[in-house]
């Protein structure tokens, strides 16, 4: 079991298991959202993800029909989001408070990565999504 939460601690969750290793998304929207070269996330099955506190205060930002981010209204941290089409939760790895034993599995949306970012050659690279 791995617990996680936002920077201020208002929103907390736990994950019993993950269905993927860590993947880094290099799309322009993740770069903007995270203010970084990529987002590092893992998927957790719906049945293995549980909110512990603060889920009623989460703010949802939508940009069009296919892109959204959820965040804490107090500290602004990007939070896990439900992906009903995958039966999973998308969990930002930086929110996890202990090592879940996951390794970097793949880079996704590499076709739109920042031109200044250098990727390791040992990790699978997909030009599109996962």
92: number of Cβ within 10 Å:
19
Give the global pTM. 0.89
- pLDDT tens readout for residues 108-130: 999 999 999 999 989 999 898 87
- Token pair recorded at residue 71: 């965040």
Domains of the chain: 2-125 (2.170.150.70)
Asked if 124 and 107 touch (Cβ cutoff 8 Å), the reply is yes
- Token pair recorded at residue 123: 């990790």
pLDDT band per the 50, 70, 90 thresholds, residue 15: very high
Higher pLDDT residue, 49 or 100?
49
| Cα gap 14→27, rounded to integer Å | 27
pLDDT of residue 93: 95
Residue 19 has pLDDT above 80, yes or no: yes
- pLDDT tens readout for residues 74-91: 999 999 999 998 999 999
pLDDT band per the 50, 70, 90 thresholds, residue 6: very high
Residue 65 has pLDDT above 90, yes or no: no
- Token pair recorded at residue 130: 């996962």
């Amino acid at each position: 079991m791995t617990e996680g939460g936002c920077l201020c601690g208002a929103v907390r969750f736990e994950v019993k298991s993950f269905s993927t290793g860590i993947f880094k998304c290099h799309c322009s929207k993740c770069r903007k959202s995270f203010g970084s070269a990529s987002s590092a996330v893992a998927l957790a099955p719906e049945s293995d993800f549980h909110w512990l506190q603060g889920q009623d205060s989460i703010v949802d930002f939508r940009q069009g029909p296919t892109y959204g981010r959820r965040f804490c209204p107090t500290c602004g941290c990007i939070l896990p989001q439900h992906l009903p089409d995958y039966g999973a939760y998308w969990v930002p790895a930086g929110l996890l408070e202990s090592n879940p034993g996951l390794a970097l599995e793949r880079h996704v949306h590499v076709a739109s990565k920042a031109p200044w970012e250098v990727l390791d050659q040992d990790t699978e690279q997909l030009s599109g999504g996962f």
